[in-house]
């Protein structure tokens, strides 16, 4: 059904049944008739690492006093399953430290959802925990920010972090052959030159897909943007060399201008992105609310630069980080002409 329905599509009772919805429930329909099938749920507001660029740093400071209780999680999962959500990605903070993490996974599976987490390996590095949790997971996205301990631990702000995430990846590879193993690596000015080696290392460890995420100006990334953000010229020099270092691995560049990827522009995540509802604590007048934000395009904190005006791919590329415009020239962008 995804993408196939016309704008303004409203499912009939029969179509609702085909979507597997509860009686009386309706799915979320977005632009172009796209149906929302993916939920991102922030399970914790704490993490043992101190990544320099952590986009959640401010939200963790603000909301760590508000527990994401079992009752709250169960309600969110049931409500979204009833409205057609078919995949859930648990994030945080670090999701594996939620006191009922394994039960949360089991409930999501029972409700018919594929289960996925983003983790820096905190609990999966422990063999006994990995044995209990991995059978209930379909995908794991490991956070790995360098090819070795020297680079990764500096980014993660914690000695021993590379060793932990490496142990978690090894457990997943050995104990859960069914599992899809992905990795996310955040790029800053300090680790960008190591990126080809990082991706080659991840390929050697059997990772199937690597998301290369550009720094965003949120949380620690906001506080340190001028220090950490890679320049467009630097991205254009390094990123096109990355896919060759990991043959057979799918590479996705997230938050990166498409025109800096050279022949690999189709690896831009702007072209491979699914609508999602993100459920997390949000400030409301006089209170906080655990509620959803609906995203139909990967345009959060992205804008088009003056150079984008005549670009032939402006409709599908979300442009550059908005904070970049406040600091540096965008003259290094290379707009596509209509013949490309
Ligand atoms: S829209 Fe802008 S950032 Fe995107 S490919 Fe075109 S010139 Fe580059």
Instruction: Render pLDDT for 184-197 as a digit per residue (tens, 0 to 9).
Output: 999 999 999 999 99
pLDDT bracket for residue 21 (50, 70, 90):
low
More confident residue, 144 or 339: 144
| 319 C-alpha to ligand 1 centroid (Å) | 5
Helix (H) or strand (E) holding 293: strand 287-295
pLDDT in tens, 23-79: 667 777 777 777 788 999 999 999 999 999 999 999 999 999 999 999 999 999 999
pLDDT (mean) for 220-235: 97
**Is the shortest distance between the CB of 335 and ligand 1 below 6 Å?**
yes
Tell me the CB-side half-sphere exposure of residue 1, using CA atoms within 13 A: 22
State if residue 270 touches ligand 1 by the CB under 6 angstroms criterion: no
* Ligand 1 pocket, residue 261 CB under 6 Å: no
Full-model pTM? 0.90
- Of all protein residues, whose CA lies closest to atom 8 belonging to ligand 1? 259
Query: CB-based contacts of 323: which residues, under 8 Å, 6+ apart?
Result: 217, 222, 225, 229, 301
Atom of ligand 1 nearest to the CA of 304: 2
Nearest CA to ligand 1 atom 1: 314
CB of 312 closer than 6 A to ligand 1? Answer: no
Residue ranges of the chain that CATH labels 3.20.20.70: 36-281+289-302
Pocket test for ligand 1, best of 313, 315, 340 (most atoms within 8 A of CB): 313
The reply to whether ligand 1 has any atom less than 6 angstroms from the CB of 257 is yes
Cβ-contact 51, 156 below 8 angstroms: yes
Backbone torsions φ then ψ of 203, nearest 5 degrees: -65, -40
Q: How far apart are CA 324 and CA 141, in angstroms?
A: 27
Q: What is the mean pLDDT of the chain?
A: 91
Q: Where are the alpha helices (DSSP H) in the chain?
A: 13-18, 57-63, 70-82, 101-110, 127-133, 149-156, 161-175, 195-204, 220-223, 225-228, 232-238, 322-327
Indicate the pLDDT class of residue 183, thresholds 50, 70 and 90: very high
Which ligand 1 atom is the nearest neighbour of the CA of 320? 3
Superfamily of domain 36-281+289-302: Aldolase class I (3.20.20.70)
């Amino acid at each position: 059904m995804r993408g196939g329905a016309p704008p303004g599509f409203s499912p009939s009772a029969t179509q609702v049944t085909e979507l597997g919805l509860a009686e009386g429930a309706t799915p979320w329909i977005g632009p172009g008739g796209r149906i929302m099938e993916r939920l991102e749920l922030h399970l914790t507001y704490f993490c043992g690492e101190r990544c320099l660029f952590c986009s959640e740093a401010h939200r963790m400071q603000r909301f760590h006093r508000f527990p994401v209780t079992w009752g709250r999680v169960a309600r969110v999962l049931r409500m979204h399953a009833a409205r057609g959500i078919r995949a859930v990605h648990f994030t945080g903070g670090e999701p594996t430290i939620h006191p009922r993490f394994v039960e949360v996974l089991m409930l999501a599976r029972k409700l018919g959802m594929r289960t996925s987490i983003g983790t820096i390996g905190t609990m999966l590095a422990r063999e006994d925990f990995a044995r209990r949790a991995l059978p209930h997971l379909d995908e794991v996205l490991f956070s790995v920010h360098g090819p070795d301990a020297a680079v990764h631990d500096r980014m993660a702000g914690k000695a021993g972090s590379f060793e932990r995430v490496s142990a978690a990846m090894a457990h997943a590879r050995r104990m859960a052959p069914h599992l899809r193993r992905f990795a996310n690596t955040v790029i800053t000015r300090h680790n960008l030159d190591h990126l080809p080696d990082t991706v080659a290392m991840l390929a050697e460890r059997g990772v199937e897909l690597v998301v290369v995420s550009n720094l965003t100006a949120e949380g620690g990334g906001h506080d340190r943007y001028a220090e950490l953000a890679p320049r467009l010229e630097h991205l254009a020099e390094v990123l096109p060399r990355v896919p060759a270092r990991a043959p057979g691995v799918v590479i996705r560049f997230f938050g990166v201008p498409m025109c800096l990827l050279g022949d690999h522009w189709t690896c831009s995540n702007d072209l491979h992105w699914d609508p999602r509802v993100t459920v997390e604590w949000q400030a409301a007048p006089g209170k906080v609310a655990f509620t959803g934000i609906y995203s139909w395009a990967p345009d959060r904190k992205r804008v088009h630069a003056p150079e984008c005006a005549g670009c032939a791919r402006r409709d599908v590329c979300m442009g550059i980080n908005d904070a970049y415009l406040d600091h540096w020239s965008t003259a290094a962008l290379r707009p596509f002409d209509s013949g490309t």
